[in-house]
Homo-oligomer: A and B are copies of this chain.
């Protein structure tokens, strides 16, 4: 019985798509697969969206050394699958950006500090890209990227 349970546990554990995904992501980017990297990626994948550095650190407290966490985050930034930004309350926030075309923006709640992803309508993104074209004409700036952050109250705090 015990053997069976252990077997089942390992089966479930290793077939978890999280683990497979993490390792695949690293392999796909020619980054060696190590425990700290997999642990960090698992948390980022599970979380599905932006997460504060504080939360990431406390989640991984006893699994990954603090210096290693910073190193892993820098590794992920280097291969362009991690975005970092600062909340209006000056909290560092990170988020996986795995595919090229998952363009989106962020909403911050000024009361509870939550950050969420938000996708703007195609119509509006088109209007924004037109505006950026105009900016290029008038200001000579060549715009490559943009970030739009909305600040307000989430439904819980409203």
Contacts and interface: CB of A to CB of B under 8 A. Distances in A.
A155 B136 CA distance: 9
Interface residues of A, number: 37
A95 to B, nearest CB: 15
A146 B141 contact: no
A128 interface: yes
A141 B152 contact: yes
Contacts of A62: none
B140 A118 contact: no
Interface string A74-109: 000000000011100010000000000000000101
B140 A151 contact: no
A145 to B, nearest CB: 4
A5 interface: no
A158 B109 CA distance: 37
Contacts of A154: 140-141
Interface of A: 84-86, 90, 107, 109-110, 116, 118, 120-121, 124, 127-128, 130-132, 134-135, 139-155, 158
